[in-house]
Structure 1
């Protein structure tokens, strides 16, 4: 045995080295325990924030009435697991003297700014749908409400209104067998007619709310499409069609709609879409999802 090795072995057994080793071991164990405790506290905080976010969302988004005039409907709102802040998806439906009027929208962004924008749009929609005869006029009122909200000191600056723009789609179902649509930069709705899903793409694309100053096209006008008894109309946010699987493929919404058995209720239909989304994404939604489905009864 060499002198160096012998000296090392003797040093290793000394009380000083043993004490240092034990001290290092205690510090390491304490660090692990503290890290686990901090992680548990952080997870608890995230869970609490998530519960508050869901509660706030439920206050802003009212339950969808099962029956409205000539339509039978249901709604669904799913919060992405990857997010803890309040999202910007919005929807509502009301029976008016002009027919059933619906709105689906998506505020780009999260948190308090999104909540204020959602509340402004839905507040204007719920107030004006009953007395504004033109659907485009209702949309204009919602846009004006966003502008007023941006002008309130301490609310959110106009830059945030533009950067976190709001897409919106309004539909009106009168007594006639048609549906009138005003689309401001939102994904087109899908109508399911005799087992085939068709996107109702606007012929004159319009900008999202808050960006009208950047658009030089003609004024927004409603567009009409056939909506016959037995047809189904799906309004949704982009969290549905932008959901990806492990291979980075988008969710095939039209094909999935066509595969759902006929005879299901609107709520059952949305439940089937939900399950298909879970299978496609392996239960890993990265964006919030809102959907409204209505059936034409007569």
Structure 2
């Protein structure tokens, strides 16, 4: 929260400084022209440069300042600086005043059109951000005893959602998590992301096993590609369209954290997560219990899908999930982002008595990633962390008695 306030204060200070500079610049321009004309008379010819001042003011500060400063410049153009010198007749001063007023009118109209376009662009961005937030909605801070945090970085400038997806849902079977990466990135992959997330949010409550969830996701992916082919490349004569989307695959990692903390997973070509345990000798360990299956869409799923057991998530322990954009990010020298080392540093800095703070860890890794890449990402990045915040209740001994209090 403090970091957010600091960033907001820095942006507000920078915007105020820009407005102050642009507001002072036209005044300095007028002062310089008038001073030069007073001490080095040019028979009013230099006063024609006063027309630039209202244009600068209109472009930088607003239409009111443009009209105000333009009126001042028009009056100054009528003042007979330098006395009665050759060529300093009233005709030149009147023409200079008219030129300044013409610049004021043109700048006023141009600024009005620019202001309308800026407002329309801001409304369009608000609608786009709201629509994208519905697709990749923010996670709640806590689901069924599991503390959550997530963040997403799109490689497309101005986009909130790209080709990465994630969702966490609490069900009667446990807390279920999906994270994936659609082939490609940016806005072109949003359709597949919407299909995957919409299907996951629906079937995750119905299917008792992760294998059933994965098969439903595969069918949704196939239907989505079929509809895309029908729209983009329709076949004539009632024939079926020929698919050219054979390589439109999705890497997916499905995980389930049961109420007792046991973890099961199904992995289709996605990076395995990191297990975080601040009390262990190695607090950050890459979890790789089995070889991943091929990405979803490249090959049919095997007939038998058995979820991989990944141990138990004890109270205070966490899981850090990510897409491959987090490890593929390069700096100016071409070095890959050291995710394991940065995650270790973030976990050590965010350690708390009840375990690391997921929001702090995700925020620290995000900032380190942006610093490493210089703010220029070539692929989308999704980061998700969940931590078991359930209280560990000690088992009652067999000989313990139940004490009933009197009513």
Superposition TM-score, scaled by structure 1 size: 0.76
Q: 1:285 aligns with which of 372, 377, 384?
A: 377
**Cα-to-partner distance string for 1:258-290 (whole Å, 9 max, x where unaligned):** 112112521111111111112211222221111
Q: What residue is the counterpart of 2:269 in the other structure?
A: 185
Q: 2:256 aligns with which of 155, 160, 172?
A: 172
Moved over 3 A (4+): 47-56, 81-86, 110-113, 155-158, 217-220
**Cα-to-partner distance string for 1:58-116 (whole Å, 9 max, x where unaligned):** 22111101111121011111122668696211111111000000111111124665222
Residues 130 and 218 (structure 1 numbering): CA distance in 2 closer, same or farther, change over 3 Å?
Answer: closer
Residues 118 and 230 (structure 1 numbering): CA distance in 2 closer, same or farther, change over 3 Å?
Answer: same
**CA contact under 8 A between 1:191 and 1:197: conserved in structure 2?**
yes
State the superposition RMSD in angstroms: 2.7
CA positional deviation for 1:54: 4.7
Residues 82 and 135 (structure 1 numbering): CA distance in 2 closer, same or farther, change over 3 Å?
Answer: same
Residues 119 and 201 (structure 1 numbering): CA distance in 2 closer, same or farther, change over 3 Å?
Answer: same
Which segment drifts farther, 56-65 or 150-159? 150-159
Q: What residue is the counterpart of 2:343 in the other structure?
A: 257
**In 2, distance between residues paired with 1:91 and 1:105?**
6
**In 2, distance between residues paired with 1:84 and 1:164?**
21
The 5 Å alignment of 1:133-282 reads 133-152=208-227, 153-154=230-231, 158-160=243-245, 162-194=246-278, 196-213=283-300, 219-226=304-311, 227-260=313-346, 261=349, 262-263=351-352, 264-282=356-374
**CA contact under 8 A between 1:96 and 1:130: conserved in structure 2?**
yes
* Structure number, greater radius of gyration: 2
Q: What residue is the counterpart of 1:294 in the other structure?
A: 386
**Cα-to-partner distance string for 1:178-210 (whole Å, 9 max, x where unaligned):** 211111111111111235222222423201111
**In 2, distance between residues paired with 1:118 and 1:186?**
15
SS in 2 for 1:287: coil
**In 2, distance between residues paired with 1:82 and 1:125?**
27
SS in 1 for 2:244: helix
Which segment drifts farther, 140-149 or 190-199? 190-199
How many residues align? The count is 251
SS in 2 for 1:244: coil
Runs of 5+ consecutive residues of structure 2 not aligned to the other structure:
1-117, 234-241, 391-407
CA positional deviation for 1:163: 2.0
**In 2, distance between residues paired with 1:85 and 1:275?**
17
Which segment drifts farther, 53-62 or 93-102? 53-62
More strand by share: 1
**CA contact under 8 A between 1:232 and 1:293: conserved in structure 2?**
yes
Q: Which has the higher contact order (CA 8 A, sep 6+)?
A: 1
SS in 2 for 1:106: strand
**CA contact under 8 A between 2:175 and 2:256: conserved in structure 1?**
yes
Residues 297 and 241 (structure 1 numbering): CA distance in 2 closer, same or farther, change over 3 Å?
Answer: same
